[in-house]
Amino acid sequence: MDKTVAFRRDACNIFFHILTRCNFRCLHCYINPAQHGRQTLSAETINTWLRALVQPGKQSNLILIGGEPTLHHDLPEIIRSARLMGCASITVDTNGTFCHDILDKMTPEEVDYFSVGLDGSSAKMNDRIRGEGSFDRAVAGVKKALKQGYRLSIIFTASRLNISDLKNMPGFLKSLGVDRFFVQIVGIRGRSTQDSGHSLQLTQKEWTPIVSRVARRAASLGIHVTYPKVFLKRAEPFECAGLVADNYFVFPNGRVYRCPVCEDFPLHAFAFEEDRLIARPPINEKELFNLSIPEGCVMNKLIQPGNLSYDKKGRPEYKIACCLLKEEIQP
Give CA–CA dist 180/177, Å, rounded.
10
Sorted by sequence, the CB contacts under 8 Å of residue 274 that are 6+ apart come out as none
What pLDDT, on a 0 to 100 scale, did the predictor assign at position 2?
Answer: 55
Three-state secondary-structure class, residue 78? helix
Range of the domain at 60: 2-329
Three-state secondary-structure class, residue 69? helix
CA-closest candidate to residue 205, choices 124, 43, 317: 317
Give CA–CA dist 4/226, Å, rounded.
10
What pLDDT, on a 0 to 100 scale, did the predictor assign at position 103?
Answer: 98
Number of domains in the chain: 1
Sorted by sequence, the CB contacts under 8 Å of residue 52 that are 6+ apart come out as 272, 275, 276, 277
CATH label of the domain that carries residue 250: 3.20.20.70
Beta bridge partners, 64, equal 16, 92
What pLDDT, on a 0 to 100 scale, did the predictor assign at position 10?
Answer: 84
Beta bridge partners, 155, equal 117, 182
Taking phi first (over 0 means left), then psi (-120 to 50 degrees means alpha), and beta for anything else, what does residue 22 get? beta
Q: What is the pTM of this model?
A: 0.95
The distance in angstroms from the start CA to the end CA of the chain is: 7
CA–chain centroid gap for 151, Å, is: 18
Helices (H) and strands (E) in the chain, counts: 10, 15
Give CA–CA dist 315/292, Å, rounded.
15
* pLDDT, one tens digit for every residue, the chain (331 residues): 455 556 788 889 999 999 999 999 999 999 999 999 999 999 999 999 999 999 888 899 999 999 999 999 999 999 999 999 999 999 999 999 999 999 999 999 999 999 999 999 999 999 999 999 999 999 999 999 999 999 999 999 999 999 999 999 999 999 999 999 999 999 867 666 655 445 788 999 999 999 999 999 999 999 999 999 999 999 999 999 999 889 999 999 999 999 999 999 999 999 999 999 999 999 999 999 999 999 999 999 998 888 899 999 999 999 999 999 999 999 9
The amino acid present at 23, given as its one-letter code, is: N
Phi, psi of 232 (to 5 degrees): -110, 150
DSSP state of 165: G
Give CA–CA dist 199/251, Å, rounded.
27
Beta bridge partners, 276, equal 273
